Structure 1
Amino acid sequence: MSPDRLTGLTAAEVAQRVSAGQVNALPSRSGRTTAQIVRDNVFTRVNAILAILFALVMVTGYWMQGAFGLLIVANSVIGIVQELRAKRTLDNLAVVGEAHPVVIRDGVRESVVRDEVVLDDLIAVGPGDQIVVDGEIVAEDYLEVDESMLTGESDPVEKNVGDAVFSGGYVVAGSGVYRAVKVGADAYAAQLTAQASRFTLVNSELRQGINQILRIVGWLLLPVGALIVWAQFSQPDVDWREAVLRATAALVPMVPEGLVLLTSMAFALGVIRLGRRNCLVQELPAIEGLARVSVVCADKTGTLTSNQMTLHEVIGLDGDQDRPAEVLSQLVGADPAPNASMQAIASGLPADDDFEPWPVAARASFTSAKKWAGVSFVGHGDWVLGAPDVLTGGDVAARAEEFGASGLRVLLLGSVDRRVDGADAPGPVTPLALVVLDQLHRPDAAETLAFFREQNVEVKVISGDNAASVGAVTRSLGVEGEVVDARTLPGPDTQEFGDTVAAARVFGRVTPEQKRQMVASLQARDHNVAMTGDGVNDVLALKDADLGVAMGSGSAATRGVAQIVLLDDRFATLPYVVAEGRRVIGNIERVAKLFLTKTIYSVALALVVGVLQLPNPFVPLQVTVVGWFTIGIPAFLMSLAPNRDRARPGFVKRTLAVAVPGGLAVAAAALTTYLMTRGIDDAHDTLQLQSATATLIALIMTSTWVLSVVARPYVWWRIALVAVAYGFYFLMFTLPWSRRILSLDISDPAVINVGIIAGACGMAVVEATWWATRRVSTVTERVSRPTI
């Protein structure tokens, strides 16, 4: 049956199916509901530990010492607010970015959101459209469907009336109509379409590294925590309230309470920031992938140039201009799903009020693999339109090459002596005309390419267009170098193929399979590859790239497989995308170093104090205040700051390389002071208080210098951050009211000087460790830089 004669369901039938629940209902686009977000941010392991310790402190009656309990509220509120903001952003953007199938109802075609498709709906599809539900073909016109996302087989499958199609596939060529036979959870691959717009929390190197660190910390906390609790309660003549406070003061800083929170918050803020630029992040780890990109493979059409083209001229090769215009008009009229080139031709041809379509005997749709399309008309011959260098050679191809070298796009119109749908088509081609199209450069393309060069991110332009035309466009945008015709490339398994792909920057006449092979070749050479595209020919490479970036106006298939969708089609958004990824990953690594330094020195202090059976020198309020200004507030600010450094593998190793020596240096300075000023025998209350004050001075001086090291390279606000921290602590020890609240005693200069000297030595050790690590590191870190 002709698609034009299909009427589909009536409004009453649609309403009946909706009331029966036969709707394509899919999970929430952003994964978790509001209730799940609240629950997962409130009922965490860290909050549970802090809540128990807070309750114990409250029992003692010293309520001010329970100030660390504010962390429970802060952790929960900040996490909930940020994730709800990210959810709202994703939900709003996903409505724009998701596939909008065209259904036939009451004989009228209308675009609906995927969730509104009902059982037995008739859905019309064309090239690039995604199959959103399982169905059965009821009408087709040379329809070919790629089901590689389901079967792994990349060759398109020809579909005839009665054949089944499955959600997750997409149309490569031709057009058709299918009836929805399974919707929602019943569909074979419903989760594929659901996940195309979901805020996922799948594993990544960063998350795996943090989880690995937290597992190690967890194993340390159990024995050390038990030891310190036993040591505090076994002190002679100790009041149980004091024992609880000192045990709590030892346990609270061991918990890296802000690390997971700031990690999730940084990711959520990244989603929100990119959302403001009409950039839809469909998978959360894509933020991490942005930071690791070393090569961007960009398609030309739709990325560097606009998808819209204009008809420049039609050059009749035998001097007759009327015949080419007539044939082109018939080809346009016979194409049920015209691509950008056909749309440009249709707009450029003069209007003909007496136009009568020729009867069509056969059609061959355009594909990027064969690079031509054709129609066989009854009584009017067989015609093809496609790449001149593919369909013919000699003077005609050379003339087309001259136009291509100036950046124009050229198609050849020719006649053939066989049906275009035959296995041996097109056969010999008799050229009739060259069709010259203008390609419009995106105004921001040159600036974007320059940004990537400055950031040491290599850009490779891989296009299916004529190599000369691609080279002309890229040269005008500042991309220099040899232009490679992909038809001359050796097999993908050869060393020469990999060398050529690695060395060259611009490729023309690339098939979809070759794009995929190029991505794989670059990945085999330890590159993190981002692929941008908008058409069906880009889907295979987008799927295999480390990061797939689709244009919002591109096909539903490309949007469905990409991790990031540029909804406004602005190639200039990519620098912001990459910068956001670098900001998130680089800053998380910084704050991880701070939190783990605190955990390590807290564990080391507790271990030594417990073994020596000494009272813990600190009370909860002291460690809370220290945590706020050496860890909490600086970590929060640094997690939001810009960061242009490309992410590197080895997150755990680099983090521990700073946190372990830094934490041990802090612990050594504090323990040296404590043991030198107090000794290991029983001490009277005044000496205990003075010794604890000196120990706190040594700990603050050294741990704040760890902050100073982690804050490098310096810019003005990071220097101010460290200066404010030192200034705050100076006032804390000099102001009488703060000394009273925090139980500090600086009345004995000899004791206090020991803490100052030990702290200075600790600072020197931290500094020396940083320089030693910098010397052996493969990436030299800087002390400062003029801008950020």
Structure 2
Amino acid sequence: MMDENGISGLSAEQVAARQKQGLVNGTEEIKTKTVGQIIHTNLITPFNILNAILAGLILMVGSYKNLLFMGVIISNTLIGIVQEIKAKKTIDRLKLIAAPKAHVLRDGAKQDIPVSDLVLDDIMVLASGNQICADCIVVQGECEVNEALITGEADLVAKKAGDRLLSGSFIGSGSCLAKVEHIGAENYASKITQSAKYLKKPNSEIMTWINKIIKYIGFSIIPIGLLLFYKQLYLSGQPFNRAVVSTVAALIGMIPEGLVLLTSVVLAVSVLRLAHHKALVQDLYSIETLARVDTLCLDKTGTITEGTMQMDAIVPLCDISRQETEDAVAALVNAVNDDNPTANALKALDRNPPPWKCAATVAFSSARKWSGASFHETGSFVLGAGEFILKEGFEKIRQVVEKYSSQGQRVLLLAHSESPLGKGDLPADISPLALILLSDKIRKNAKKTLEYFSAQGVDIKVISGDNPVTVANIAKKAGLRDAGNYVDATTLKSYEEIKTAAVSFSVFGRVTPQQKLDLVKALKEQNRTVAMTGDGVNDVLALKESDCSIAMASGSDASKTVSQVVLLDSDFASMPRIVNEGRRSINNLQRSASLFLVKAMFSAIIAVLFIFFTCDYPFQPIQFTLINAVTIGYPSFILALEPNRERIHGKFIVNVIKKALPGALTMVLNIVLLVFISGYLNFTPEQISTMAVIITGYTGLMTLFKVCMPFNLKHAALFSSMSAAFILALIFFKPLFAVVGLTLPMVLVLVPMLIVATSLMTAILHMVEKVIMKKIGS
């Protein structure tokens, strides 16, 4: 593994031998379900199990036509499985593209290999931004490691030869060569979490409320079913077969069987759509979160700017020639050997470093905001932010620095000391030599993107480690309206000051990684839904804390690892498309979910009422299948997948109940009224059932009419076709749906009841919107 030139890594023969022995890191686990798990989770659900039991009861009594509801259940399950498998394949393929690679030395040459191909004793080449994908030991070089994803501690930990690096952490500054010590399941991160990836619970209102709805219905459905069956069989004296069929009908109505499927399908379709636009969604529910975002924190570099820099000028601050300055810069850059936009811009000077012998180096870190190197012949040179290098002495050059910063330049200070550098500490006799002027390239479509978010009422915060004046100037050029409202984060000494500044300012300069984290926390404490974009190691903690994190594919491994969305083209201009896709999904889901809850609420209420009513339960499963098909099932999927860019307002459950409650209450009052009228007119059970189906279907179509507003050609066609299908089914398929022909007394009762239903719907809708929802706070 060693030659006279230093470390060369494993040979091809040694790699092959370890692979033969099984000493390989193993297949990198992609955090999506397997096909088997998808089939299992869609097939074995509480509602599917319950529906299967109900179908078994129907089979037992031989009422086969009432099994038609299982066709809907089976179709729903198949659609859910197919869509989720398609989304899984897309995510897996894109994750492989975006997955971090391991950089190794083999046969003396640097190679990029999949993390899964690492073998024991491989020599990894690690630099700032790289995530450590296997436990290893430093064999050459020095670095500082952020172990926050493993230990939760944000402070950088210095590592030198002989020190251990833990998988799941990442290089904050510096570079090193490290020998792989553990592989696969033996890695530290694997033993703790089975993965080196940070996972956090999705911030999803929809998931939370759908789970609550399932829980509430699950707890209530069995006792209601048992009580209703007992009443039908023993108190009403119905035959066993009819009691079973009517009880099953009541329970089927309570189950919103398509709601969970609809949510999965809509989000899966969104993932597929975004994949076509180069956005990898690593968490389905992050689409919802991003659609609700009201505050967007942008890292300047790589987001507003292209992430590349150019050197514009050198401004001497003492009696020093340009050649001496360039020699110092070339020597420092060569010694530290950082790989970041600033270092690359300085390397572009293409100047050979002087033959000085390096005694010590300190790599750049976001916390220090400077890098440095000590040389035996010339002392120490430091390059970075003037405020952090000179501290109180910065006041002497502040005016000239701010002059260039106000012109949009990024200003670095080159300073010198005769004393050697300590372990990350600056010597006391540091003195300024020159200012290095750099400039960022602003993305072409940054202005258009910022204007979009501003028009949508999203509060934008630009956060950067650069000079606040420079950042503000760049933000202004990029089109940020409130760019002049900036603050220097070095003046924010406490968390309370950060909390105040988070609301008051739009541009933040000289921000440390910890302050970025604190800013996101402070905004969330103000009940903001915060999205964070970033591409560097200094963004990781804030990305992890945000409600929705977006990374650039060109950024560091660590930023991609913790982010829920990765922009594969690293183009911030993709953000409006992602937000619009989220809004389409959530707005349409709210609209469609209300249709499911109309049926569930109505069915639960009348099931309880008919425990106490003396007459029989008026519905059969086949009748609910018809009503559900034309008022819920087909319309919900059509409405859920259409374009919708309307801004999201209010809470999911409040919006859904607001739309569902009028229809459900109208249906309940209709059936109660029908029961009382039928008691006086001596209608047969079949006639009562027929009128109940007509009134309930009519009210369901009224709810659909309300949901389809505002009408367009597509909505009009949907509503008309569903209404026609309902009418034709009642005319031509009477035996199938267990309805009978209308008699004159039935018509004389139905016509005024339909008019009353229309009036009730309007009155209840007004009451819900103006009274009940106002108290809840819509």
Q: TM-score, normalised by structure 1?
A: 0.90
Who is 1:360 aligned against? Answer: 358
Matched with 1:493 is: 495
- Please state whether the residue corresponding to 2:177 is helix, strand or coil: strand
1:440 shift after superposition: 1.0
CA shift digits 1:59-86 (9 cap, x unpaired): 5555443221212321221111111112
Once the two structures are superposed, the pairs formed by residues 393-542 of structure 1 within 5 Å of their partners are 393=394, 396-421=397-422, 424-481=425-482, 482-487=484-489, 489-494=491-496, 496-542=497-543
Instruction: Name 2:328's counterpart in structure 1.
Output: 327
Q: 1:263-662 counterparts in 2 under 5 A?
A: 263-317=263-317, 318=319, 320-347=321-348, 349-350=349-350, 357-391=355-389, 393=394, 396-421=397-422, 424-481=425-482, 482-487=484-489, 489-494=491-496, 496-645=497-646, 650-662=651-663
Cα distance per residue 1:580-627 (max 9 Å; x no partner):
333333333333322122122122333333433433333332211110
- Which deviates more, 566-575 or 11-20? 11-20
Q: Distance in 2 between matches of 1:50 and 1:3?
A: 73
- Residues 514 and 148 (structure 1 numbering): CA distance in 2 closer, same or farther, change over 3 Å? same
- Structure 1 equivalent of residue 700 of structure 2: 703
Relative to 1, partners in 2 of residues 1:426 and 1:179: Cα closer, same or farther, differing over 3 Å?
Answer: same
Q: How far 1:721 sits from its partner (Å)?
A: 3.2
Cα distance, 1:666 vs. partner?
A: 0.6
Shift of 1:375: 1.7
Aligned-residue offset at 1:747: 3.3
SS at match of 2:528: coil
Which amino acid in structure 2 is aligned with residue 69 of structure 1? M
- Which whole-Å CA distance do the structure 1 matches of 2:4 and 2:575 have between them? 40
Aligned to 2:33: 32
Per the alignment, residue 65 of structure 1 pairs with 66
Distance 1:524 1:781 in 2: 20
- 1:433-492 Cα offsets, whole Å, 9 max, x none, are 332223111112111111111221100001111111111111112223334332453333
Q: Distance in 1 between matches of 2:196 and 2:578?
A: 19
1:750 alignment partner, one of 731, 739, 745 = 745
User: Partner letter of residue 384 of structure 1?
Assistant: V
State the Cα distance separating 1:232 from its structure 2 match: 4.6
Q: Note the alpha carbon deviations across 1:236-274, whole angstroms, 9 max, x for none.
A: 896665554444333322221111111222222232222
Deviation sequence 1:308-355 (CA, Å, 0-9, x none): 1222233445573322233323233223333211211222x2565xx6
Deviation at residue 722 of structure 1 after TM alignment = 3.2
Partner of 2:211: 211
1:97 — aligned with what? 98
Say if 1:576 and 1:193 are closer, same or farther in 2 by CA, change over 3 A: farther
After superposition, what is the alpha-carbon deviation per residue over 1:124-155, rounded to whole angstroms, capped at 9, x for unaligned? 111111111122221123x1111122222211
CA distance in 2, matches of 1:199, 1:706: 40
- Give the secondary-structure state (helix, strand or coil) at the position aligned to 2:449: helix
Task: Report the CA distance between 1:545 and its aligned residue.
Answer: 1.6
Per-residue deviation, 1:93? 1.4
Asked if the contact 1:516–1:544 (Cα under 8 Å) also holds between the matched residues in 2, the reply is yes
Greater shift after overlay, 37-46 or 241-250?
241-250
SS at match of 1:480: coil
Task: Give the deviation of 1:514 after TM superposition.
Answer: 1.4
- From the superposition, tell whether residues 191 and 532 of structure 1 become closer, same or farther in structure 2 (CA, over 3 Å): farther
Aligned partner letter, 1:568: D
Partners of 2:776 and 2:233 in 1: CA distance? 48
Corresponding position of 1:765: 760
Which residue does the alignment assign to 1:692?
689
2:536/2:556 contact within 8 Å kept: yes
- Aligned equivalents of 2:138 and 2:478: distance in 1? 45
Q: Counterparts of 1:52 and 1:44 in 2: how far apart (Å)?
A: 12
The 3-state SS of whatever aligns with 1:585 is helix
> Does the 8 Å contact 1:674/1:692 carry over to 2?
no
Gapped regions of structure 2 (runs ≥ 5): none
* Equivalent residue letter for 2:287: I
Identity level (%): 34
Match of 1:785 in 2: none
Q: 1:235, CA displacement in angstroms? A: 8.9
Aligned-partner SS, 1:110:
strand
CA–CA distance in 2 between the matches of 1:774 and 1:419?
A: 73
* Distance verdict in 2 for CA 1:59–1:28, change over 3 Å: same
Contact 1:232 1:613 survives alignment (8 Å): no
Which moved further from structure 2: 176-185 or 584-593?
584-593
- For 2:702, give the aligned amino acid: W
SS in 2 for 1:79: helix
SS state at 2:154 partner: coil
8 Å Cα contact 1:415/1:430 also seen in 2: yes
Between the aligned partners of 2:755 and 2:251, the Cα distance in structure 1 is: 26
Letter in 2 for 1:486: D
SS at 2:457's partner residue? coil
Name the CA shift for 1:21/1:755 in 2 (closer, same or farther; >3 Å).
farther
User: What is the distance in 2 between the residues matched to 1:60 and 1:187?
Assistant: 58
Contact 1:315 1:433 in 2 (8 A): yes
Counterpart of 1:307, as a letter, is G
Distance between the aligned counterparts of 2:528 and 2:202, measured in 1? 21
In the superposition, the TM-score normalised over structure 2's length comes to 0.91
SS at match of 1:30: coil
Shift of 1:115: 1.4
Match of 1:727 among 724, 727, 737: 724
Amino acid across the alignment from 1:688: P
* Equivalence for 1:164: 164
2: CA distance, partners of 1:199 / 1:55 = 41
Q: Which runs of 5+ in 1 are unaligned?
A: 783-788
C-alpha separation in 2, matches of 1:104 and 1:680: 91
In the alignment, the residues of structure 2 paired with residue 310 and residue 260 of structure 1 have an alpha-carbon distance, to the nearest angstrom, of 52
Secondary structure (helix, strand or coil) at the match of 2:180 reads strand
The answer to whether the 8 Å contact 2:306/2:442 transfers is yes
Distance 1:207 1:110 in 2: 43
State the shift of 1:645 in Å.
Answer: 5.0
Q: Is the 8 A contact 2:446 2:479 kept in 1?
A: no
State the SS of the aligned residue for 2:495: coil
Farther off after superposition, 315-324 or 132-141 = 315-324
Counterpart residue number, 2:120: 119
CA drift at 1:201:
8.0
Deviates more, 1:277-286 or 1:212-221: 277-286
- Which whole-Å CA distance do the structure 1 matches of 2:446 and 2:471 have between them? 14
Equivalent pairs, count = 771
Following superposition, the deviation at residue 672 of structure 1 comes to: 1.8
Change (3 A) 1:616 1:193: closer
Task: Indicate the SS of the match to 1:419.
Answer: coil
| 1:251 aligned residue | 251
More deviation, 541-550/667-676: 667-676
Aligned twin of 2:186? 186
SS at match of 1:172: strand
Secondary structure of the residue aligned to 2:426 is: coil
Deviation at 1:367, TM superposition (A): 1.6
**3-state DSSP of counterpart to 1:510:** coil
Contact 1:30/1:199 (<8 A) preserved: no
3-state SS of paired residue (2:733)? helix
What is the alpha-carbon root mean square deviation over aligned residues? Answer: 3.1
User: CA distance change for structure 1 residues 388 and 667 in 2, over 3 Å: closer, same or farther?
Assistant: same
Q: Give the CA deviation at 1:631.
A: 0.9
Q: 1:3 to 1:148 in 2, by over 3 A?
A: farther
Amino acid at match of 1:408: Q
Alpha-carbon separation, structure 1, partners of 2:763 and 2:311: 67
Displacement of 1:159 in angstroms is: 0.8
Q: Secondary structure at the match of 2:336?
A: coil
**Pairwise CA distance, 1:303:** 0.8
Matched residue SS, 1:560: helix
